[in-house]
Amino acid sequence: MITLDAITLPDMIWSDEFAWRPVVQRTERTLTGKLFIEPALMHLGRPITLTDAWVTRTTLQQLQALASTPGSTHTLTLQGQNYTVAWRHTEQALTAEPIKPVTDPGADDFYSLTLRLMVVA
């Protein structure tokens, strides 16, 4: 089960689970031609992009309210682990497309959902 704070989400795919690079490095040549390598461990900022799920309009509105609060952090429970996350507003943090477009959608109409989060603590 996946939850974001008190919102229960359907099973979703963590599409960038293995795209995270926990180690970064900087390389530089010295004046004598030797290679200087400076590795560092990335502690925070791991992206969590959740895709391929349908949610109701009601759930979508709850998620949109969370995403509309600047600087907010949330608890994401995913794959049996808890993550403290924030929305990735440098991208579009939440996208949703109606499964069946209608002019007057109801609370139970479904949307295809993508969430873009990042680990912050």
Residue 12's pLDDT is 98
How many Cβ atoms from other residues are within 10 Å of residue 116's Cβ? 22
Distance of CA 7 to the CA centre of its chain: 15
Average pLDDT along the chain = 96
pLDDT in tens, 79-112: 999 999 999 999 999 999 999 999 999 999 999 9
Predicted local distance difference test score (pLDDT) of residue 118:
98
Identify the domain containing residue 84 by its residue range.
Answer: 2-119
Q: What is the domain count for the chain?
A: 1
To which residue do tokens 């180690």 refer? 23
Flag whether pLDDT at 43 surpasses 90.
no
Long-range contacts of 27-32 (CB under 8 A, 24+ apart): none
Residue with tokens 């689970």: 17
Q: Which residues of 84-97 are buried (b: 16+ CB within 10 A; e: fewer)?
A: ebbbbeeeebbebe
Predicted pLDDT at 61: 98
Q: What distance in Å separates the CA atoms of residue 115 and residue 15, rounded to the nearest whole number?
A: 10
Q: Which two tokens stand for residue 96?
A: 């949703």
